[in-house]
Structure 1
Amino acid sequence: MSMSEVAKTIIAAKESKGLSWEEIGNAVGMSPVWTTSACMGMNSMPKETAESLCNLLGLDADICTALQKYPTKVWDQAVPTDPLVYRLYEIVGVYGETLKEVIQEKFGDGIMSAIDFSMEVEKEENPKGDRVVITMNGKFLPYKAW
């Protein structure tokens, strides 16, 4: 079963149970953002977490096994057309070089890890329109010379 099929199966089960990603993350003891990412095929789940998720959603053992496999993190390199995903892509396009400059000025020559990393998505109520707050927290990894 492909990870695309696994993701579709998980989303269908999630919807049939009327659960949110927040509820699923809490139930399996993981961050909702990380849990969603693993369900979409971008991270591998520890066995216990995969079993917990499959028990919660009533999914078969083949889904549990697929969730534990090391993913090949590939995404479409074309500009996305979904408005929300496009705006995130646009943010990186507009501010990516700026973030690189500011991070390297503060830390030196290196990168922010996407391996030793966490992300939170919060809703901030605002009378002018609710705000999306995305917090990314990654370990700084300096380049080394040899």
Structure 2
Amino acid sequence: MRIETHTNFADHYVAESAASRAAIVPVNAEAVQVLICKDLKAEVAKYVGQGFVQVGHAQFVGKGNQGVGREAREQAAEVGASIVLFTLVPCKLRAVRKAADGQIDMPAVLADPPSGFSPKGHSVLTSAFLAKRAE
């Protein structure tokens, strides 16, 4: 199966359950924080402990020189998220395939890594959209 490279966050965004969006504080795009991290699960857990809730996620392949900050902020504002956390894993396109659950098969990506990060190369971007719970 051919994997398309990044078009925009909205094409890859998956919302969490409706219950997670119940009572969140609205935010505008300029106020959204976009943060890169090494361990996405640990960072999400940290923010959940600080009163945030994960409202969605996205995963896609992007070009190394393609910025995603503006698009991440726009998608976050649309869904009510105030923080977007993401990780980048350099990849070879030939190693990228979808798993049965529709997500990118990361063990396959990690089994055939590129020699290093390149601005002209590709990366798997995995993100989590977090919203502040209303008091």
TM tier, smaller? under 0.3
- Flag the structure with more relative contact order, 1 or 2, with Cα contacts below 8 A and sequence separation at least 6: 2
Report the TM-score when normalising by structure 1: 0.25
Q: Which has the larger radius of gyration?
A: 1
Structure ranking higher in helix proportion = 1
Structure ranking higher in strand proportion = 2
